[in-house]
Amino acid sequence: MTSQRRAVLIAGPTASGKSALALGRARAGGGVIINADAMQVYDTLRIVTARPSVADEAEAEHRLYGVVPAAERFSTGQWVRATQAILNEVDPARELIFVGGTGLYFEALTNGFADVPEISSALTFEVQQEIQALDEPERMALLAMEDPVTAQRLKVADPQRVTRAIAVKRATGRALSSFQDDQRPGLLEGWLVERFVLSPDRDVLRGRIARRFETMFASGAVEEVKALRALNLDPSLPVMKAIGVREISDWLDGVHSQGEAITLATIATHQYAKRQRTWFRNRMGDWPRLGLEGKAL
């Protein structure tokens, strides 16, 4: 009889100590750490995206970190397929440790995921341009014409969701809602799963975020952004939206001082951490909460 496979899911806002907790767990039990952060999949920006260091990666097996070229778009569907391949490869006796801050990835692990086909960036941009001048009622009316079921499900017709729904319909001929209704089971269905959300004190987290950017400036983040800029990438690519890229770029261009760049990046990270907390509260409310780096609350 085959023993049940084991996984640990460690979610939490940025700078909450998730990677340190995962590394300690992997060292103790010989587990494999799998990235569940949408920005840390990209190369070029190890420091800016706070990927594990080379030394950390030498202490335990890490997967899906820095494996996607900055010039590419990596969707949740691609992450799911890459993760499934890892589940098939790794020795079933080894514990898998998923760590990150991207809620959709954890949703795919536990609840399942609607595998929507890739949509070309050209079509997405075309739809973005089409709806750019529309207000919310006009966006909702357009979406209702193309995908009435998705329009009914949306409480707010924000541009990003409307763009995605319309682009999916035009590219595939199928409504986004039909893909969502055909959701596949979670990747870890049938596994023995431990789940945690790191939820440190807000003031402590704010201090860690501020110190993180000061350290990044001193330890190579500027050189990473210079290397990224040298690639002359499409500004709409996900990697170009990583927190710190615009702020450091503006400093390099003389728009801000270094202190202003650090302040702006810190503010943007606070806002991102707040959005992450909201997701975890609304979608992962039943997960046990831990303090900084996994300490009991």
Residue 19 labeled ligand binder: yes
Burial class (CB in 10 A: 0-12, 13-18, 19+), 90: middle
The secondary structure of 198-265 as a DSSP string is E---HHHHHHHHHHHHHHHHHTTHHHHHHHHHHT---TTSGGGGSTTHHHHHHHHTTSS-HHHHHHHH
Residue 17 labeled ligand binder: yes
Residue 294 labeled ligand binder: no
Residue 30 labeled ligand binder: no
Half-sphere exposure of 141 (CA within 13 A, CB side): 5
Q: Are 11 and 200 in contact (CB under 8 A)?
A: no
Backbone dihedral angles phi then psi of residue 153, each to the nearest 5 degrees: -80, -25
CA dist., res. 272 & res. 243, Å (int): 9
CA dist., res. 297 & res. 277, Å (int): 16
* Nearest partner of 185 among 287, 77, 108, judged by Cα: 108
Residue 13 labeled ligand binder: yes
Helix axes 258-283, 103-110, angle to 10 degrees: 30
* Nearest partner of 186 among 133, 107, 125, judged by Cα: 107
Residue 12 labeled ligand binder: yes
Residue 241 labeled ligand binder: no
Tokens of 127: 């739809």
Look up tokens 């609350």; give the residue: 297
CA dist 126 → 98, 140, 166 (Å): 36, 17, 10
Q: Is 8 helix (H, G, I), strand (E, B) or coil?
A: strand
Binding site for substrate: what residues are annotated? Answer: 14-19
Binding site: what residues are annotated? Answer: 12-19
Binding site for ATP: what residues are annotated? Answer: 12-19
